[in-house]
Homo-oligomer: A and B are copies of this chain.
């Protein structure tokens, strides 16, 4: 199912505009290049919408959010909606501060998102629909035990937002409000590399930009591809290697990933 989606990405080389945080921007740009897309970063409100107007996809990431950047995010989202190009939201830290929660909620009101990619805490904060801060809780995640509840949450979240919801955790869930892809790719050590979530959101933006007619499958393909590349990267680790090498090897794996490899390595079921 996913091989042609990656092939389209490699062939079409979509320009993806990302407004993202300064912690992981470099890895996001290299990830976009690795997967076959072309990255451009711009967040000043005076130029950002003009950049979106040239792009095939847009990714909005709330990490290290600055108040001055919010108008650029809104304007770029509206430009993308007007042009009919996919928009991905990564609500990093929603629930951890009022500014991030409220900004995410504002974006949900003003922009139609194609894909929203976050973890359970972030999606619950947005599903509650108010700006209270509830702290960072990395332990709160999708597991085998809460899988049914999380499937219901992600399906409901997708229905309410009109976006494909991609919830990251020990099992990844991707839903358009009807179907739920339960994806079992990935390796726990990916959590030791900062920004693998941000990179996944960019990868989803690239897959969606190259495959605008099937956002559910595009998001699921991105989640499988990122997880699979994490597995490949982890297998390369030697006895002295840690998260520094893992970071490099993940990019390498995305760069080398073939459509056939993705097709064969994707591990998912549809519920």
Enumerate chain A interface residues (CB-CB to B < 8 A). 15, 21-27, 29-30, 33-34, 38-44, 46-47, 50-51, 54, 63-67, 93, 96-100, 133, 135-136, 138, 191-195, 232, 236, 240-245, 247-256
Contact = CB atoms under 8 A, between A and B. Distances in A.
22 contacts: A23-B25, A25-B64, A26-B195, A30-B193, A30-B244, A33-B193, A33-B194, A33-B243, A34-B244, A40-B136, A44-B99, A50-B98, A54-B96, A54-B135, A240-B253, A240-B256, A241-B252, A241-B256, A242-B251, A242-B255, A244-B252, A247-B251
B242 A253 contact: yes
B194 A30 contact: yes
Contacts of A255: 192, 242-244
A33 to B, nearest CB: 5
Given A30-B193, A42-B65, A244-B255, 13 more contacts: A21-B41, A23-B41, A26-B26, A30-B194, A33-B191, A33-B193, A33-B243, A42-B93, A46-B99, A54-B136, A240-B253, A241-B252, A243-B251
A47 B98 contact: yes
Contact of A47 (B39, B50, B65, B138): B65
Contacts of A66: 43-44
B29 A26 contact: no
A202 to B, nearest CB: 12
A209 to B, nearest CB: 14
Contacts of A21: 41
Contacts of A38: 136, 138
Nearest to A17: B136
A192 B192 CA distance: 24
A47 B242 CA distance: 32
B245 A252 contact: yes
Contacts of A100: 47
A188 to B, nearest CB: 12
Contacts of A27: 26
A243 B244 CA distance: 13
Given A97-B42, A97-B51, A243-B34, A26 B194 contact: yes
A63 B21 CA distance: 14
A177 to B, nearest CB: 31
A64 B27 CA distance: 15
Contacts of A249: 240, 244-245
Given A192-B33, A244-B249, A255-B243, A40 B93 contact: yes
